Chain A
Amino acid sequence: MLLQHKIKILLIVLFVFSVFFVASLSFDGNSITKKKSEKLEGETVTTSKKVKCENYTVQEAEDKKKSGFDFFGRYGTEGEFSKNGDFTISISPSTSKSNNPVGSDFELYVEKISIVSLLEQNDDLVDSMEKYTVYNSKDYGPDDYRLSKKKSITISRSEVESLASSVTSADADTVLITLKAVKANSDPMCEGTVFYNVEVGLDSFSSAVSEPIEGVETVGDYYIAPVSIDCNNPKDDFEQSYCVGEKGYFNPGTKKTVTVKDKSSDLKRNGGTFKNIRYALKCDAHSIVPSNSSIAKDSASESKYYVNDEILKASHTTSESFGNYTYHYAPGLPTETVPIKVDTTCTETLHVQYGPPVSVKAGICFEYNVKVTSTVVCKASKVPAPKAATYCNPIPKCYHKTGNWTGANAGPNDSFDMCIQQCDGGKYSDYCSQKCYSSIYTVGEKRTSSILDDYSVQQIKSYRKDKNGRQRITTSSNVDKANALIDSINKCLSLEEKSTLKNSHYTMTNYPNVGTSGGINFYGCYYWDESAKEIKWASGIEGNILENSHGKVGNARYAPGRWYGVHRKTSNYAGYSSNDGFMRKAFSSGLCTASCRWDGCSQTEYWNPAQAKADYDENMKVFNDAKTAAEKASTCSEKTTEFTMKVTEYGTYMKSADTLTSKPSGQNIDEKEKLLGKRYVRDYSKCYQTSDINKNEMYQTVWGFPGVWQDAKSMKISFVQVPDSVFISNKFCLPLDAKTVNEKWWTYYYTAQYEHSTTSLTSQTYQDKCMKTTTCTNWVHENDIDWDKDITYNITGSTDNFGHFGWNLDVSCFYAYSTNPTTGKDCKPSIECDSSSGYTVRSVDLSDMFPSPDGETHSADTTGRDTGFNWTKYATNVKKDPNYVSDPIAYLKETQKNEILLRKRGKSTYTNEAELDYRIYLSREDLRNIKKYVTSDSFSYTDYGSRGKFIPNGSVLSYQSNVLRSTTSNGLSVFNSDNILVDESLLKCNNVDNGKCAQFVSEVKE
């Protein structure tokens, strides 16, 4: 029995335990229903890492690689993280003609993004196969992320994170971005479709930090995104500001796609200014722009020169307070002060345009210009108007329907309560109750005055003295507060007296004998009693004696609350108004003593019309002042902007000793002439009001080198004025002893010039300009240059504090100088195609020494085409040697003119003994040799390049004529040199440094 009992108990206990166990498990869902770990099983795929060109065999690719050819480099693929983890890919497909260039129209798109881990890696080979495990991937269409030379794409961090979020394997560490050509066969070196992968570490998307550009602060985020702008319908402030700035440069009706960098976050972080933030812009080193594309003053030429283009924008909102509105809602209520806040949002679009790199030679002068245009659109939010002068009339609310003549007040009076308050702070202790009773309630009226005596200070201050008695204003024991309230009420009443309400009145129809005919003026002020927490009424004037059918009821000592007058209640509310403003019905034995209060108005409304109007009038003055001030805030501001253009090796130039101060009103841009001689700033950074409706701000400047001083004879260059020097404005001239720099690029430039020349080699224009020589072998192509290391950026144009937000820009570019031959027998036709880069010797028609290409007849005073330096006014020298005056313009005029008109000069030059430097006697044999020489293929009349040699000798350049010095095939001179007579006495030294003429003469004789 006992055993059975024990077993039963045990079974029960086990059962209970099981129940609890199951129950506990059912509350812990995780332990029972826990899902199997959702590990994505990776799919193993093989794909190519490098470029796949479908028709190359692996062997061919390997061969190519061995020869040093970087296939992958053909696409110039680069990737960069921004600070927020977005990844931007750009390409620069090779355009080098040396190896079947890809072409600048080559386009790729992102075909797929995969989250992978790398299983097997091969060497860098074209068409090599890689093995990955793919955990997740997403396909894209050709228009999702499309890459071209001009357009980069940004893959957002969130896109990658969303792909990676479902991947739980810790092995997944790589993001594989597969790029595929839009068109097949778009790379001549690959048949089929190009595609390749870009690998990026997955971690990089979460912790990417953009590398700082050395020497320049770059803070904040920016985006690069193409924006299509239609200036007929600018969508936002940026587009509006851009269109205003570009007006005149492109048809506003044209849609233009621009790429914009938004620097708003930098601005915001820096408190609304770009102070201490500089932006560095670099010219495109790949640009090849012929150096004869000089800066012209029209948009067509400018657009050819400004091959570098950046658009920066920034928006910033500032909030400014322009005074306060004040609302005195009612006496006793706190005065509300509301600041008038106006937000102004300014959007500035900065369009920075700058020139290409320059290839120069010693002694050559060149321009480099930067143009910055800023347009600003500022929009201010409306100044909020003050609250309207509306008011609320508190409504009487009484709790009595029929009227009970006796008062039901079964308690002490106010005096007793006040006494208690003073005695024990309102506790009604027995002691104080007794004391106050004794002092306040005695038999007879005479003790009443002692109420005033004992608490006179307290009570009087709580009363306002009316004309005929006193009105209890507040039960507050705070004397200062009570005083302030009474002052405030009196002020309100004084306003009411002056208000228009004085002329309004109502008639109490049951009371015909109301004094003046028609009605009575009643007024007063509603106020707030803080101690009683009630709206109360302070009567302003004494009313008249009122009567009803029973005779005189009593004196209407106080005006009833305004509500009654406004609502013109008649018999229902006719009656006697007590000091609380309520109209009480009169009965035979007295007035209704119902409990009443004023209600229905909030503490942020006016309760008295005169005060509402007075505040409104005052606030409208503040409003108008605020509007005026706010409008001023969004117009042009004064600026001191600095401009610098320097060449690194030659120091800083044009620094801010003479910086310009802009003024709010714009100036006529033709005033640029004032600036020559000191600095070259075409337009200076002034603030213009644009002509559009909103009259937005605009700043515009073009600046470049101020100029150099050049010695008229020796052509030596200095950066300060020296005697007998000529100022060459707007240019920097490379000194004759300049060091070479960027030589590789220099050669690349001339290689490209030749290869990309659109001028046919056989065209007359080309022939006119260039001289033929043999093939040059020292070509440099795009792939031959290390674009990071081989370029020294030695030109910097800077501006400080430009535009509305005070942008600081450093525009870097470079010039290249080399002494490598570009002419002569080792090179292809000379590419000295502009007159400033070389020397040309021609036979000329003395009546038209420099004819224009179109053959127009010119007057004797001018030249049809540009001349070399030595025929310009800059070679004028009238001081140095009175016997040798260099005045090419005068000589040119005289020669051409006289040839035409007077036949005195011109060809007479050749017969004037004083003019001769050489005299050559030609024998018959000489003539025969000359004829043979000039008719040979190696020599032609228009073959300027190979007529002679220019030999520099210090600061002197000597010219040796091939005709005079050339030899025949048997080594004999064309001329019998014995027949060359150089009359030393006739020999003069042209443009030679002092003291070197004799040396020159001896060289000539050799």
Chain B
Amino acid sequence: MLVNKKHKELFGIILLLFIAIIAVLYEICRPYYNSVNRVSNILEEKKKDTKDYHTIGWLKVQGTTLDLPILTINHKDPPVNREHFSWVLNEDDQYHNVMNILGHNIFNLSSSPKLHLEHYQRFEDLLSFVYYDFAKENKYIQLTIDNKNYIYKIFSVGFIPSYEVSLFPTGEYSREQLSKQISWLKDISVYDYDLDVQNDDHIISLVTCTRLFGYNDMSKDFIVSGRLVHSGELISDYKVTKNNQYKEINKILKGDGENEDASST
């Protein structure tokens, strides 16, 4: 009888230990982000295409309401009053080493952006990344195009002069252009991501409008950029910290920096 009791105890301990190990392993190994299938969504959306609006892919951003089609538009001015879409700066419908995707922001322009409101049908929710807590928890972008899912790890979140977007090359970037773009995106970021980004990595940038710096400063766009997950790389969490450029953002978010004249020309 005594022997059995001892065995039982031992077994219990080993079992618990095993469960713990499994749990830990699970936590370590489970993917940080699970990609979703959006090919069918694309096909559905394509049914609405016109000569001016042409669906080429799908965009999903972890933690946000951004889960919408990507179009090419034969129109100088993508309509604000059309909901649930984004557009790419390229003229074709191909995947390129740099994908620059734009979307309108109408309802989340203020200096204290809200998160995940129901009527955010465009890129309003992209502004969630302006909060550090959110940025800590959400690090992945999914692009679906040509029936393939491309997963990107976010490495840059920042504010840029609007005109810079009009300077973005279109189509496939040359090596030099790519290297310059990656370098620049790292520089403008308000966070430092513990992530290895090579000068020839494929990247994606999501851009939208903001009035975070005040009514009279309409010259800034908000940009979130990611680099393509490397072959064999785990979809896992990685560290992100605020850097010095975040101080100004923090002030504005707290209401100290709200200043209609905040922009510097």
Contacts and interface: CB of A to CB of B under 8 A. Distances in A.
Contacts of B168: 404, 408
Nearest to A599: B265
Nearest to A405: B76
A595 B163 contact: yes
Which one of A406, A426, A443 has the highest number of Cβ atoms from chain B below 10 Å of its Cβ?
A406
B89 interface: yes
A414 to B, nearest CB: 9
Interface string A515-555: 00000000000000001111000000000000000000000
B167 A399 contact: yes
A408 B162 contact: yes
Contact of A410 (B74, B107, B221): B221
Contact of B102 (A410, A413, A442, A593): A410
B73 A428 contact: no
Interface stretch (A433-441, A480-488, A869-877): A433-441
Nearest to B164: A399
A595 B74 contact: no
Q: Of B167, B170, B214, B260, which is in contact with the most chain A CB atoms at under 10 Å from its CB?
A: B167
A507 to B, nearest CB: 29
A478 to B, nearest CB: 13
A417 interface: yes
Given A410-B209, A426-B215, A443 B81 contact: yes
B218 interface: yes
Nearest to B263: A533
| Interface residues of chain A: helix, strand, loop or mixed (majority) | loop
A426 B166 contact: no
B165 A430 contact: no
Nearest to A429: B110
Nearest to B261: A533
Interface string A397-421: 0011110111111111100110011
A420 B215 contact: yes
A427 B163 contact: no
A479 B168 CA distance: 39
Interface in B89-128: 89, 102-111, 114, 117, 119, 123
Interface residues of A, number: 40
Nearest to B109: A428
A594 interface: yes
Contacts of A532: 216
A821 interface: no
Interface in B166-188: 166-170
Interface residues of B, number: 47
Given A427-B110, A443-B81, A408 B89 contact: yes
Interface in A650-665: none
A406 B109 contact: no
B92 to A, nearest CB: 13
Interface string B26-67: 000000000000000000000000000000000000000000
A417 to B, nearest CB: 7
Nearest to A426: B215
B153 interface: no
A404 B110 CA distance: 29
Interface centre among A421, A425, A427, A534 (most CB of B within 10 A): A427
Given A427-B110, A533-B265, A594-B166, A411 B105 contact: yes
Nearest to A425: B215
A430 B218 contact: no
B211 interface: yes
Interface of A: 399-402, 404-413, 416-417, 420-421, 425-430, 433-434, 437, 441-443, 531-534, 589-590, 593-595, 597
Interface of B: 73-78, 80-81, 89, 102-111, 114, 117, 119, 123, 161-170, 207-211, 214-216, 218-219, 221, 260-261, 265
19 contacts: A399-B161, A404-B89, A406-B76, A408-B102, A408-B162, A410-B209, A411-B104, A411-B109, A411-B209, A412-B109, A416-B80, A417-B211, A430-B107, A433-B106, A437-B80, A437-B81, A443-B81, A593-B166, A595-B219
Given A409-B209, A434-B119, A443-B81, 15 more contacts: A399-B164, A399-B166, A405-B76, A408-B102, A408-B168, A411-B218, A412-B106, A412-B209, A413-B80, A420-B109, A421-B215, A426-B211, A426-B216, A433-B109, A533-B265
